[in-house]
Structure 1
Amino acid sequence: MADMALVAPFTVAATIEKATALKGDAAQGVPAGRTRYFIEAHADALIAGRAELPEIIRYLADLPTSKKTPKLKGQQVLLLAAPGARPGEIRLIGPKAQIARTTADETRLRAILKAAIAPDAPPAVTGIGHAFHVAGSLPGEGETQIFLKTPDNRPISLSILRRPGETPRWAVALSELTDASAEPPAPETLLWYRLACGLPRALPQSSVDGLQPNDATIAAEDYQTVLKGLGPCRGGQKEAISTPTP
């Protein structure tokens, strides 16, 4: 949901008024296990973005195929979309961009959209810069810092602190200054999403070039501590944004 919400030009709440299953040439390229529908819906509210929408909007949606014809008429949905080729038409930005308008999903979607436009919204993570490790005065003591790359060069860094006999502690900083009281991001927040879904699965060799072999090994281990603390990106592999155009 976050993948789509952060790139969709607009989000609209709608009620389906008519849905027609398409076949033949009109359903070319439909993935296996899905059926293409031409849908007419009442635009109930524009939740995010800027768009001049008529009362009735039209779009195509490839929905899961079921043994029984689904009762789509009357369903309330959330649509993550872009303008279509003709007036009154919209284009869903992904294969799952029609979402049932449940209280839980609408609450989650609104939270994502609100967090994305906040003044302190964290930027996307596009890669990893330099990492370094400084050993402490005691065996097993030390600190690793890993600098992340962002589209607008805003600073984000990870710090991992090791103390003898303790589990390594890590935190994230959104400024050039490291805050000793900083904590890992809470799950299901935009910062958590940026890290869990944006960080590569291993520390690149280029990030530890120039470090002593032992320091490079520790930095790579500390990076895995961060990934383990974040947990998996729940969305899994990102789907290609490819949907039919009316």
Structure 2
Amino acid sequence: MSSVPKAKPTTGARTRRRQAIGAALLLLAAAAPSALAQRRAVPVPAPVAAPAPPYAVVADLVLRSPVIIDSTIRSAEKLKGPEAIGAPPGYARLFVQADVLALVRGTDSVPARIGYILDVLPDTRGKIPNLRKLRVLLFGRPVPRSANQIQLTGPDSQRLWTPALDALSRRIATDALAADAPPEVTGVGNAFHVPGSLPGEGETQIFLTTRDTRPVSLSILRRPGQQPSWAVSLTEIVDESAAPPARDTLLWYRLACALPVQLPAIAVEKMSADDAANAVRDYGFVLQSLGPCTRG
């Protein structure tokens, strides 16, 4: 029996495909150069039961991405010639189409299939990873006037789907949209220290600056014979019942990943030398208690 020849794409289909690729490339070219310069290889398949990346890594992805899509890659076409211009040295540029499984974050509906540009690093033999049928989480932003296109928000914004990554992404997205979500911390404002009546007793308050000017302050208390304690307050009035944030929460992330490694000199310039030294010590205690902002 003779085989039936495959139908070739119509001129209209080819035109639409070229238009989609062209729109995606134009948007990619407009992205910030710093974002395009920091490239990583596409994550390789991992066991479905793999743990999620560190909280800070996922929070970075979620908070910069107004659209998060759970999808399965349908096709990945290597772009050549003018369409591949702009790919980092050594990388291959692909036009990827994926079938949407769920919208994890986003205010508008998305079509059943979306396209996007992805730069991947070939293996040592020069082969491009086989992405077809991979289930991935896409962290992106919508493309104006192109509902079937998204732009990835960074070189690491296509991630292999796992239950742990999906759950953590959803949790962070929900926390970020909550009415009481903590503000984005941008630095340290001022600080003061009040010594107590007993040797070794005292309290330090440190006021932080935020993106939307909402109040955030740290309070560190020391009493003789006791371990120092600290708390964070999100109101103008320091809450006596406030406590340190639990690790791997949005408030912990806002502090651990944004506070400078040292208390700025300007924050203590009006203090006496002793009070300034105590404030610097107490600020270091807060950083130690928060622990590192792990992104690796």
Structure 2 length normalisation: TM-score? 0.74
- CA apart distance, 1:115: 0.4
After superposing on structure 2, the runs of 4+ consecutive aligned residues of structure 1 that deviate more than 6 Å are: none
Percentage of pairs with the same residue = 50
Instruction: Work out which of the residue numbers 254, 269, 281 in structure 2 matches 1:209.
Output: 269
Q: Give per-residue Cα distances to partners, 1:12-61, cap 9 Å, x unaligned.
A: 11110001234554444434664432101112222211234322211111
Instruction: Work out which of the residue numbers 218, 223, 245 in structure 2 matches 1:158.
Output: 218
Question: How much is the aligned-residue C-alpha RMSD, in angstroms?
Answer: 1.9
User: Which has the larger displacement, 171-180 or 195-204?
Assistant: 171-180
Matched, 1:55 2:115: no
Gaps of 5+ in 2: 1-57
Q: Give per-residue Cα distances to partners, 1:130-151, cap 9 Å, x unaligned.
A: 1000001111110100011112
Q: Which has the higher helix share?
A: 2
Q: Which residue identity does 2:67 align to in structure 1?
A: F
Tell me, what secondary structure is at the counterpart of 1:89? strand
The total of aligned residue pairs comes to: 236
- CA apart distance, 1:157: 0.6
Gaps of 5+ in 1: 237-246
User: Which has the larger displacement, 86-95 or 47-56?
Assistant: 47-56
Which aligned pairs between 1:40-119 and structure 2 lie closer than 5 A?
Answer: 40-67=97-124, 69-84=128-143, 87=146, 88-119=148-179
Q: Give per-residue Cα distances to partners, 1:158-186, cap 9 Å, x unaligned.
A: 01111223332111111122233322111
Q: Which residue identity does 1:60 align to in structure 2?
A: I
Tell me, what secondary structure is at the counterpart of 2:185? coil
Answer with 1 or 2: which has the greater Rg.
Answer: 2
Q: Give per-residue Cα distances to partners, 1:212-241, cap 9 Å, x unaligned.
A: 1111111011111111111111126xxxxx
Which aligned pairs between 1:177-192 and structure 2 lie closer than 5 A?
Answer: 177-192=237-252
Structure 1 length normalisation: TM-score? 0.88
| Cα distance change, pair 65–196 in 1 and its aligned pair in 2 (3 A) | farther
Q: Which residue identity does 1:82 align to in structure 2?
A: R
Tell me, what secondary structure is at the counterpart of 2:263? coil
Q: Report the Cα distance in structure 2 between the residues aligned to 1:76 and 1:94, rounded to whole angstroms.
A: 18
Tell me, what secondary structure is at the counterpart of 1:218? helix
